[in-house]
């Protein structure tokens, strides 16, 4: 078996650093988007009905999300887990793929609400 030279590994080291940097940028962008969107809503929270994986240190489990809201006092996005009133997840505790699923769901709900309001002569229901 031929052992690759240092240049071979250097290329992969650069690639993994680039991936990590882009993942960090994505997390920052998603955090800004969800914070700005939630803080601009007329309701104090948005209901969710979805499951995400959550890593608890040893293994993954699935949690059912109940709602998401922006906490003005703490300046944080928080997510409530269904059936566990005492358990609140911070946005930063959720992995980037699950953040994206939540973000897409919230975005879709807001756009659906806007379309509904536009079709009903501007009669607003919940969010926008």
pLDDT in tens, 79-112: 999 988 778 999 999 999 999 999 999 999 888 8
Q: What is the reported pTM?
A: 0.79
What's the half-sphere exposure (Cβ side, CA atoms, 13 Å) at 17? Answer: 6
Q: What are phi and psi of 91, to 5 degrees?
A: -55, -40
Residues 18, 19, 20, 22, CA torsion sign: positive
Quick one: pLDDT band at residue 126, thresholds 50, 70, 90? low
How far is Cα 5 from Cα 11, in angstroms, rounded to an integer? Answer: 11
């Amino acid at each position: 078996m031929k052992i690759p030279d240092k240049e071979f590994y250097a290329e992969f080291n650069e690639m993994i650093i680039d991936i990590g940097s882009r993942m960090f940028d994505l997390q920052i962008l998603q955090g800004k988007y969800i914070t700005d969107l939630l803080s601009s809503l007329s309701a104090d929270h948005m209901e969710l009905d979805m499951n995400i994986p959550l890593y608890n240190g040893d293994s993954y489990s699935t949690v059912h999300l109940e709602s998401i809201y922006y906490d003005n006092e703490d300046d944080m996005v928080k997510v409530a887990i269904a059936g566990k009133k005492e358990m609140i997840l911070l946005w930063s505790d959720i992995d980037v793929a699950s953040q994206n699923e939540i973000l897409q769901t919230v975005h879709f709900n807001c756009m659906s609400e806007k379309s509904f309001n536009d079709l009903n002569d501007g009669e607003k229901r919940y969010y926008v």
